Structures are given as C-alpha cells and as structure tokens.
Structure 1
Amino acid sequence: MIVLVFFALVAAAIVAYPPDDLYLWVKALHIVAVISWMAGLLYLPRLFIYHTDAAKGSELSETFMTMERRLYRVIMNPAMMLSWVLGLYLAWSVYRFQGGWLHAKLAFVVVLTAVHVFFGRCIVAFAQDANRFSARQWRFLNEMPALLMVLIVIMVVVKPFSG
C-alpha cells in the first residue's frame, strides 16, 4: 500500500509540475507498473497450484483465498490500470498509435489483460470451492503470462513489424 501511495504522489507531482523530460518519467512509471503487474500474473497461478492441493474449507485454503484476493485487488488491478493508462499515453504521444509492432504489442497486451480477468474469475471460483483445474493444469496455465511477456518485450525492443 505504501508503494501505491508513493506512486500516486510521484504521479501527482509530475502532473502538477511537469518536468522537461516528462516522457522519461512516464516511461519509468510505466515500467514500474508493468513489472508490478507481471509479478502478480506470474505469482498468482503459483498460489492456485498450491491452493488446488489444499483441502477445501481448511485453514490453509482460507489463507490462500486471502492471499489471492489481496494480490489481485491491491497489486495486480492497480498495476494493470496504470500500465494501460501510461502505456496508451506513450503510444499516442510518441508513436501516434502507428507501427505494426505497436499494434502487435497492443494485441498481446489485450490477451494479457484477458488472462488477468480470467485469473480474477478463478479467484472467485476458488472462494466458492469451485476450482475446475488440477495442479498440473495450473502449471501449464502459469506459462501463459510468461509467454505473453516475452512476445511483448520482443515487440517493444526489436520492433519486428516496423517499416
């Protein structure tokens, strides 16, 4: 929570007193938001794996439910929203939404957002003791955010469809 407050204060200061290098500040905050979002997307399915092995209704299962809910609401949701807002600002201010690589990157980010929403629905399913996936299936699903992250980074750094 302290990090979110600090992030908000930095963002407010940037809006109130725009620096000459506003682009660099927005880019830095975007990177921090993306790292936070990805950390949650990579960690949450691991929690699901362990939660799947916990007995329904047990104290351990209840602990996992609390951890999953807090991770999603307190870290992942704000980080995703900030990633989108700051990323769209950068895409418009720097590239005017032009470039095949940017369109591909945005498409992968849309899929990553769908994974985020899917994980949110799975949190609800776990809370209702209605998980439909085995630990082995969760291990496979755990790879989706990592694969999308690799594709997104390649689009941003290599820009394979520019030109």
Structure 2
Amino acid sequence: MYFWVKAFHLIFVVSWFAGLFYLPRLFINITLSDEPAVKDQLNIMSRKLYRFVTPFMFLTIIFGVWMVWLNPQGYMASGWFHVKMTLVLLVVIYHFICGHYRKQLEQHTCQKSSLFFRIFNEVLVLLLFAIIILAVVKPF
C-alpha cells in the first residue's frame, strides 16, 4: 500500500510543480504585452491554470500525510524530513502568492516587472532542488 500512496504522491507533486513553473511564465508575458486582447487571453490562461493546479497541491499534501501516517517513525524521527516539510510549506505559500499576483494582473493593479517574475520563477527551482535532494539523499 505504501508504494501506491508514494506513487500517487509523486504524480501529484510533478503535476503541481509543472503548473507552478508555467504560471510565472504567463505573468512575464502579461507584463511584457502591450496588447489588451493578449493580456486578457493570458489572464484567462493563468486563471484556468491556477484553478487546475490547486487541487494537485491538496492531493500532494493528502498523499504525503498518508505516507507519513503509514510510516510515522521513519519520517518523524528524521531531521531531513522536518527541513523538507519547512520547504514544502514555503512552496504552498509560493502557490498562494501566485494566486495573489494572478488576481492583481487580471485587475491591472500589479506593479511587478517581468524581471521580478523571472527571478520569482527561479525561487521555485531552488526549492524543488532542495526538496528532491532532501527526499532522496536524506543527509541527516
């Protein structure tokens, strides 16, 4: 049972991150566009993408909690796991910040530049690297 739960956890992690990687790219294109029709279309795409990936976040969390429930001593006694959970919490916060920026862009009230969103997008890459290394290498 544990490996089935782990497989679904990983499927939803990959799906969630795929959406989170693409969302700021849409934000960059929205900020760079001068055409109202293009901005409107990109805003529709970002709204649909955000709504699409949000359930993946919840499913990732549900299956992750289920994995811990199936093997509590294996996870709760490990230092790497607590660091990983802190980073996952940062990804959840990142997800909701994306939702905030998405609304601002749709309402034309966002003051962030395309450069900001390029850097913002890279933060998620660094979080993903750290989470994967912690989960695979289990350094402490």
Please, what TM-score do these two structures have when normalized by structure 2?
0.94
**1:65 aligned residue:** 43
> Structure 1 residue runs of 4+, over 2 Å off?
95-98
Displacement of 1:79 in angstroms is: 0.6
Asked whether 1:93 is paired with 2:52, we answer no
Aligned partner (choices 56, 69, 74) of residue 79 of structure 1: 56
Counterpart for residue 12 of structure 2: 33
Which of 125, 129, 135 is the aligned partner of 1:156? 135
Written as runs of structure 1 = structure 2, the 5 A alignment for 1:1-163 is: 22-55=1-34, 58-74=36-52, 76-96=53-73, 97-161=76-140
Q: How far 1:160 moved relative to its partner? A: 1.0
Distance 2:12 2:55 in 1: 8
Identical residues among aligned pairs (%): 37
User: Using the alignment, how far apart are the partners of 1:52 and 1:106 within structure 2?
Assistant: 33
**How far did residue 98 of structure 1 move?**
2.4
Aligned alpha-carbon RMSD (Å): 1.1
* 3-state secondary structure, aligned to 1:142: helix
Structure with larger Rg: 1
Structure 1: tracts of 5 or more residues without a match: 1-21
Q: Distance in 2 between matches of 1:118 and 1:104?
A: 21
> How many residue pairs were aligned?
138
